[in-house]
Structure 1
């Protein structure tokens, strides 16, 4: 069980087909949070659920947890359809009126894909990759083991959500290997993009351990961008334009050659 989970938090398995594993935690509101897992720390095992306490919102939110053992960045056959079908089933059963999504690393990429496929009010993507496709990001080696197994690229890069009615919040570290992705995301209105200068790909873990992740995610998913911005500021983050204006993009990396620093 993820260290983020409370002992009393009920995370129930749902019917799913490989390579996915889906779980559900009931809430008291009509909001459904879809929480996508990253690659995890053990490449031959199913990634565990992530962000349970943060996503649950002190019991208010219903939460659907999605893990992908193939680590396909939503490119695996039938993965998108299986997630959408499960969301539809939960919506019909519980009368869901608000759908939002959150994810870390690969999970952040997946949350953005979901918003391209269905109506999602808000997305929070923490340390998302813009792409792991070798033609788009030839210098990205951290997830080569997984990307080499992707045969068909339905989503070779993060979808452009500027024409969607979705409030997108992106959180990235300031290290060079994170900025190679961060700099490719749009800068238009609708994207709230924050950079944490002294952080690398372990941003989510760092913010979580300091108790700073929950207020950022919660207020972003609730559609309170001004409050979220203050929470980011309190945690040492900068608006992307501020980061870019204050100094050159770093050329040194905070990450080791290990890819498995994703799990929260």
Structure 2
């Protein structure tokens, strides 16, 4: 059945799109930097987040690719997310994103109660004083301060469960995971045979839908089983397919 997704706001900075569901849960999907451009899908993770109509899904797109640093953009997005949470009677919020979208998904718990934050290949900081990761524009030079210089520094003040996944073959993404604190609420995995495209590799393996569904429900053991299955299919070396808590590589 085709998903009916309505645009509820669009201006030069921000697009919000809404997919209604039957549950009192809202998944806020922060789309990646290329969403809607060059043929990239605007509504990333639509099927995995909606769960066949169960969840309400709000897609948040930073049209400038500013990492939510364009003047007033982040505060506007948060204000509208809060409004929809109230008006739709939402009882549980989950955030989800890839790359730049992962930064947004990890940042939202600073602003409101988020049960779980899910990020694939997340970029936790673009501050050139903290990282030599030059893959992305110098957004602070272009737009001003990011909403959080290092989003990992916001984790300690929340009660959110964080789920971070990166590809082992991408050194820059492994370095980004190091900015996440070592807390019991922070769960991180690195997967073989994947670079910055770890979500795409899981989708190609037919596992992304189940992985996201398991995380939304807080079933960490199920996530680890699925990641083990992925690692075995990728001909990973014998031994643990995933790191123990606190390890990033």
TMscore range, shorter length: 0.7 to 0.9
CA shift in 2, pair 1:219/1:42, >3 Å: closer
Partner residue, 1:166: 160
Q: How does 1:84-103 map to 2 (within 5 A)?
A: 84-103=78-97
Query: Using the alignment, how far apart are the partners of 1:83 and 1:203 within structure 2?
Result: 27
CA distances 1:43-87 after superposition (whole Å, capped 9, x unpaired): 799972211111111110000000001212222222222222222
RMSD, aligned α-carbons: 2.5
2:69 is equivalent to residue 69 of structure 1: no
CA shift in 2, pair 1:117/1:166, >3 Å: same
Query: Using the alignment, how far apart are the partners of 1:86 and 1:42 within structure 2?
Result: 21
Q: CA deviation at 1:147?
A: 5.7
Query: Using the alignment, how far apart are the partners of 1:177 and 1:14 within structure 2?
Result: 35
Partner residue, 1:239: 242
TM-score (norm 2): 0.87
CA shift in 2, pair 1:10/1:42, >3 Å: closer
User: Counterpart of 1:144 in 2: which secondary structure?
Assistant: coil
Conserved 8 A contact 1:38-1:47? no
Partner residue, 1:144: 137
Which stretches in structure 1 are left out of the alignment for 5+ residues?
Answer: 1-6, 250-264
User: Counterpart of 2:67 in 1: which secondary structure?
Assistant: coil
**Residue 15 of structure 1, aligned match among 9, 21, 35:** 9
Partner residue, 1:3: none
User: Counterpart of 1:22 in 2: which secondary structure?
Assistant: strand
CA shift in 2, pair 1:46/1:203, >3 Å: closer
Q: Give runs of ≥4 in structure 1 deviating > 6 Å.
A: 41-47
CA distances 1:152-189 after superposition (whole Å, capped 9, x unpaired): 23312114313311111000111212211122222220
- Higher RCO (Cα < 8 Å, 6 or more apart): 1
Q: How does 1:111-126 map to 2 (within 5 A)?
A: 111-126=105-120
CA distances 1:11-64 after superposition (whole Å, capped 9, x unpaired): 110024430101000001010000010111777999722111111111100000
Query: Using the alignment, how far apart are the partners of 2:113 and 2:4 within structure 1?
Result: 27
CA shift in 2, pair 1:234/1:189, >3 Å: same
Partner residue, 2:236: none
Partner residue, 2:237: none
Conserved 8 A contact 2:35-2:61? no
2:215 is equivalent to residue 212 of structure 1: no
Q: CA deviation at 1:145?
A: 6.3
Which stretches in structure 2 are left out of the alignment for 5+ residues?
Answer: 232-239
Query: Using the alignment, how far apart are the partners of 2:14 and 2:24 within structure 1?
Result: 25
Conserved 8 A contact 2:150-2:179? no
Partner residue, 1:133: 127
